[in-house]
Amino acid sequence: MQFKTTIRLLAALAVAGTALGAQAETAEVRVAQQYGISYLPLMLMEQNKLIEKHAKAKGLGDIKVSWSKFAGGNVMNDALLSGSLDLASAGVAPAITLWAKTRGTPSEVKLVTAMNSMPIYLNTRNPAVKTIKDFTEKDKIALPAAKVSIQAVTLQMAAEKIFGEGNHNRLDALTVSLAHPDGQAALLSGSSEITGHFSAPPFQYQQLEKPGIRTVLNSYDVLGGPATFNVVYGTAKFRESNPKTYQAFLDAFAEATAIINKDKKAAAEFYLQVSKDKDTVKDILAMLNDPQIEYTQTPKNITKYADFLYKIGSVKQKPATWKDLFFPEIHPLPGS
């Protein structure tokens, strides 16, 4: 009798220990994403509850994952710094800006993983604009966040190439902050002051289907080749306090990326189902099969953005290598 009681007690202690171990990490993960097909891995993670799946596999029990949607990286950064968000996702430029701002502080932020490599297009409906040097004060260029989004910084890099050193901000006064769906609606309306839109897939491709819309800038031309478009980033404090949860996120992200690359037709169908986009499966599949578009965790050409931001004084810190920007889990990848 005493032996059975001891066994029950030990079993109860083991259960309690497991519960306490699970409770030692956060019971809720707060993740944010933005608009467009570039965020497809996060959409899959949300809909298929992949973070919850991997968290449970690591003995964390049933954790809550809260998802938010933001229009731009600047708002995302504010949410991360305020403590109302655990993991943000945005273009490379906002992530690097926050990394530099917080480096060496208690609020230190680093990049968690690259999300993809994708070209981004600046499209226009103004027939007089053949290159970006043809934009005038009569034009307005919509992008997610003026001066800080990856579109804004890419435009600055292109401006410096055309107008010369120190002229990176030549077109800044023409930019207007708008979420991608709003920017596209303004461009296509024909009655708005918006004559250019620097956006992302699928919006940029949808625009090119309309008569009179054409591309005047491709980010790959500015960067000299394929480049990371979006990344996930978060605080060192969150990673250190929740190592299993953090790894569960990475495992979930890797699974989502593999799902996309294994069956792109199914991924296209999923995107349309969740996004309610009016495109066809054929159109979305064509984007996913574009050899310039790749869903990958490997960082590409990220240091070119970091070096430029440092050169123009937008950030006060410069990474020695791309690995300085990322938490160590991604370091084994052949990044740049």
Residues 6+ apart with CB under 8 A from 80: 86, 88, 98, 109, 233, 234, 235
Contact 91, 230 (CB under 8 A): yes
Structural domains of the chain sorted by starting position, each given as residue range(s) with its CATH number in brackets: 2-118+228-330 (3.40.190.10), 121-223 (3.40.190.10)
pLDDT at 90: 92
Q: What percent of the chain has pLDDT over 90?
A: 87
pLDDT digits (tens, 9 = 90+) for 259-306: 999 999 999 999 999 998 889 999 999 999 999 999 999 999 999 999
Q: Answer yes or no: is pLDDT of 28 > 80.
A: yes
pLDDT at 11: 47
Reported pTM: 0.87
Residues 6+ apart with CB under 8 A from 273: none
pLDDT digits (tens, 9 = 90+) for 58-112: 999 999 999 999 877 788 899 999 999 999 999 999 999 999 999 999 999 999 9
Site of tokens 């410069």: 318
Judging by beta carbons within 10 Å of its beta carbon (0-12, 13-18, 19+), is residue 113 exposed, middle or buried?
buried
Q: Answer yes or no: is pLDDT of 148 > 70.
A: yes
3-state secondary structure (DSSP) of residue 88: strand
Contact 116, 231 (CB under 8 A): no
Structure tokens at 299: 């960082």
pLDDT at 73: 78
**Closest to 171 measured CA to CA, from 199, 190, 143, 191:** 143
Contact 322, 244 (CB under 8 A): no
Residues 6+ apart with CB under 8 A from 78: none
